[in-house]
Structure 1
Amino acid sequence: MTVPTSEKGYADTSSGWWTALDEEETPELQWPKNVSVYDKMRRQDAQVISVLRAVTLPIRRTSWRIDPNGAKPEVAQQVADDLGLDLVGDDANRKVIRTRDRFSWAEHLRLSLLMLPFGHSVFEQVYRIDDSGRARLRKLAWRPPKTISRIDVAGDGGLVAMHQHGSTGGTGKAAPRMGVEQLVVYVNDREGGNWLGQSLLRPAYKYWLLKDRLLRVQAQTVDRNGLGIPVYEGSAVPDSVSGEDRVDREKKEITEGLKLARGLRSGDNAGAAIPNSAKLTMKGVEGDLPDADIPIRYYDEQIARAVLAHFLNLGTETGSWALGSTFADFFTLSLQTVAMQIADTVTQHIIEDLVDLNWGPDEPAPKLVFDEIGSRHPATAEAIKALIDCGALTADGDLETHLRTIYGLPSLSPGERTKIRTGTPLKAAPGTAAETPTKGQTA
């Protein structure tokens, strides 16, 4: 049997660069016009902002760490220092590193999650060389989606390069081309060679658009019909006035009455003066006005449904909070999946690149890990004790490290852990109760 070592088929159908114009049927959502549409959605609509924050804030809030994963201590420590993260099990012993001219993980994570509304989020790697000659991660420079002009894609769907629009600041700078070796690209729901991805807001666009139109109509309805429409009826024309004089008088009074009705406003000094037998009334709508609240609530529900955030509407629009835990479980799983995608991308295209530059491609590399988001089974002290007493858990070093991490307790060095297991007393910190002799003890 012949072992296949090369591809015969292809994944990219766009002749070398991806435009995605043939994949999207809605004209305003074809790239690059969709960038401004999604940007408008995420800035102007309260429900869209709510669902995006519901997705991103838990991911940003959870703790991220570097797992050595079999790498040398010096390799794992440099990666942790460059990313500004703790090593697994070393949270309490970490020293604060100055942030000037250094990479910010919190800011990078926030910008990387913009792949959700836009479909993609692109960064360019920037390093500095330290005194020992090693490459250190200085920053990952974000490249906004509106600046991307072209994406070069290989036949197998792999990324080759990304282009930006030329400088618009009058400097005459040529359009930059960034090769894949310089890039870190987060893509939401990538298929084949589509490195633009798909926005998380794409299924919600129709409902956002209809809701936006309905809100405008609702505001106009209240504005026009809240106090009624002023109607002026002219006064009776004396019988002595006839012919053209009668017509001129009627036209003049109607003109003045229309001006009065259009200028009528409410207020402390509002009022009107009309001729004898003339009438100025506020006409309301006969019958019921259309209730826009019901469809607006429905559109909000569908916007939340697009990201599995049904529970945002429970207790207000539909259902009850009794169903919240069931819906929240599905939502939490979706957050876990997004966080795993970020961790995989960082490990492959940031951590491994950093290890390759300094130690070569054969050196084992650490990996990025994170605390479970919305843990379904909180590990209480009572539950852990019961599991250890019945033999379901073993009080080993890994369990101790995990418990110290989730409870925010200081970590033990290997030497201190050995002393505890052998029964050797530990040296107490100066000034503590353990160091000070009590009554009946000798110093």
Structure 2
Amino acid sequence: MLVRGITGTYLQSGYISGKEQNHRLTGTSWVREAEEMLATDASVAASWRVLKQTLLEATWRFEPGDQSDELSKRLCDYANEAFGFDGYPGQITIPWEDQLSYMWEFAPIGYRYFEELYRVAPCASGEMKVWLDRFADREPSAHLRWESADGQNLDAVLQATRGNRQPLPIPADKLLLLTLNQTGSNFEGRGLLRPAWWWWRFKQRTSNLIGVGVERWAVATPRISVNRAMAEEMGLTDHDIDTMIDRAAAQAQAYVAQEQSYLVDNPVVSFQTYGEQKLDSSHALSIIRECDNQIAQSFLAQFLHLGITDTGARSVGEVHLSVFRRSALNLCDMIASRVGGVDRRAAGTIGRLVRWNFGEVNPAQLPVLKHSGLDADELAESLSSLSTLVQFGLLTPEDDLERSIRQRIGAGELPEEANRSFFDRISATSPAGGGGLALAERYRKLMKGARK
């Protein structure tokens, strides 16, 4: 295959450049910045937490690539046994759900990679197989550079030295790389936190100003007043007045420093306050609320801010929730795509395992990793309108529909004696006129048969 073009990504000496104009937000500097955002900002942490908890609710299993092919079914059974899906205890030493807990951390930063560790053990039938032991987490903060011979494709990753140990390069065919919004050879992608960074920094500055204002106005500034007329009446000299002022200044300093809780004055030297006024932080707080809203939008979690004001609509919340759910589904699709598929650089784990255990197979026969549990429940969303649909003749109430509803809500099978005809259901669901409607329908059918 002749390749004429290039990816266009600046990948020189293992470092990516040109994608981010703010050098503070590149490489490990960005990793540290993102980790600080998650650790110190409540809005950032809440937005990511609600998305991560949603992602962790998904249920996973492998399905045959070809439902009619016996080899596909065998490969699917092997994959489910390897990962602990579909009732198998699993050959991996760390449960898949526990591994997902740290694997999902790629999304806020933009990337994260995992070293695939393998082991040999007997399968359920006793035959020796090669299994995935676990996806060993390799934190982005330990990343050093990307190894690429042609400056286009990933060959390996090299980690930074920790202590006195120099890690060996991890080859791409022993690696699972998760990258969000990757283009070209930009293996670091662009994380969910990047659009929120400016708002986070602005929120920090605004919060700091509020803090300065609180400290500034929490204790009024003492002002020392000198009554010269009273001093003359009392026959005090300038030296006496200066001494009183020095003593008052010392008291004021101790009071501001909270070393003293009272002030002692006299008819000549007394205390007043300067610049004392009520602190109005409403404008600054409105800015912080807008920053929180923008941060939530970067995670498509705007619904977190519904209900905290005097306005809002349930339908708006449902739209936000639907968009948020679609975002979670897309992230799950990304995991499924990277773990599944043919053996390839930094992906295709199941393809490697199948090749080692079963030899070369048709890619269409490979197991397909599927997820469920995050899709919208059409039945739950339509229950409120079922009676209206039946009333206007757009839905027929029959036994199969009831069986479907009972199955979805866990009510068990429909008993044989509970079967009802269409006319019985119409009579039961229409208290006014239902019996007449059923009788009229029966009469029309009888008349139609008589004409024949």
Length-normalised TM-score, structure 2: 0.75
CA distance change for structure 1 residues 10 and 95 in 2, over 3 Å: closer, same or farther?
Answer: closer
Q: Residue 118 in 1 paired to residue 113 in 2?
A: no
1:309-365 deviations in whole A, cap 9, x for unaligned? 221112225851431112222222211111111111111322222111111231521
Rounded Cα–Cα distance in structure 1 between residues aligned with 2:75 and 2:400: 31
Preserved contact between residue 301 and residue 320 of structure 2 (Cα < 8 Å): yes
Report SS of the residue matched to 1:203. coil
Q: Residue 326 in 1 paired to residue 319 in 2?
A: yes
Preserved contact between residue 308 and residue 330 of structure 1 (Cα < 8 Å): yes
Preserved contact between residue 230 and residue 264 of structure 1 (Cα < 8 Å): no
Report SS of the residue matched to 1:130. strand
2:100 aligned partner: 109
Deviation at 1:96, TM superposition (A): 4.4
Q: Residue 207 in 1 paired to residue 202 in 2?
A: no
User: Mapping of 1:344-363 within 5 angstroms?
Assistant: 344-348=337-341, 349-362=348-361
Letter in structure 2 aligned against 1:336: L
Q: Residue 223 in 1 paired to residue 215 in 2?
A: yes
Preserved contact between residue 110 and residue 180 of structure 2 (Cα < 8 Å): yes
From 159, 167, 181, give the equivalent of 1:175: 167
Rounded Cα–Cα distance in structure 2 between residues aligned with 1:199 and 1:157: 21
Rounded Cα–Cα distance in structure 2 between residues aligned with 1:160 and 1:393: 59
Deviation at 1:380, TM superposition (A): 8.7
CA distance change for structure 1 residues 276 and 247 in 2, over 3 Å: closer, same or farther?
Answer: closer
CA distance change for structure 1 residues 127 and 410 in 2, over 3 Å: closer, same or farther?
Answer: farther
From 301, 304, 307, give the equivalent of 1:312: 304
Rounded Cα–Cα distance in structure 2 between residues aligned with 1:358 and 1:409: 43
Letter in structure 2 aligned against 1:230: P
Report SS of the residue matched to 1:58. helix
Identity of aligned residues (%): 20
2:138 aligned partner: 143
Report SS of the residue matched to 2:300. coil
Which deviates the most, 43-52 or 349-358? 349-358
Aligned length: 385
1:343 aligned partner: 336
Deviation at 1:258, TM superposition (A): 3.3
Preserved contact between residue 228 and residue 282 of structure 1 (Cα < 8 Å): yes
From 257, 279, 295, give the equivalent of 2:287: 295
Preserved contact between residue 9 and residue 156 of structure 1 (Cα < 8 Å): no
Length-normalised TM-score, structure 1: 0.76
Deviation at 1:49, TM superposition (A): 0.9
CA distance change for structure 1 residues 208 and 8 in 2, over 3 Å: closer, same or farther?
Answer: same
Rounded Cα–Cα distance in structure 2 between residues aligned with 1:250 and 1:55: 65
Q: Tell me which protein shows more helix as a share of its residues.
A: 2
1:91 aligned partner: none
Rounded Cα–Cα distance in structure 1 between residues aligned with 2:136 and 2:256: 56
Rounded Cα–Cα distance in structure 2 between residues aligned with 1:335 and 1:157: 30
Q: Residue 129 in 1 paired to residue 124 in 2?
A: no
- Stretches of structure 2 lacking an aligned partner (at least 5 in a row): 342-347, 414-452
Report SS of the residue matched to 1:238. helix
CA distance change for structure 1 residues 56 and 141 in 2, over 3 Å: closer, same or farther?
Answer: same
Deviation at 1:53, TM superposition (A): 1.6
CA distance change for structure 1 residues 15 and 296 in 2, over 3 Å: closer, same or farther?
Answer: closer
Deviation at 1:371, TM superposition (A): 1.1
Preserved contact between residue 9 and residue 17 of structure 2 (Cα < 8 Å): no
Deviation at 1:220, TM superposition (A): 2.3
1:414 aligned partner: none
Report SS of the residue matched to 1:354. helix
Deviation at 1:103, TM superposition (A): 3.5
Letter in structure 2 aligned against 1:328: L
Which deviates the most, 193-202 or 153-162? 153-162
Q: Residue 162 in 1 paired to residue 136 in 2?
A: no
- Stretches of structure 1 lacking an aligned partner (at least 5 in a row): 87-93, 412-443
Higher relative contact order (CA 8 A, sep 6+): 1
**CA RMSD for the aligned pairs?**
3.5
Deviation at 1:156, TM superposition (A): 7.6
Report SS of the residue matched to 2:18. coil
1:79 aligned partner: 79
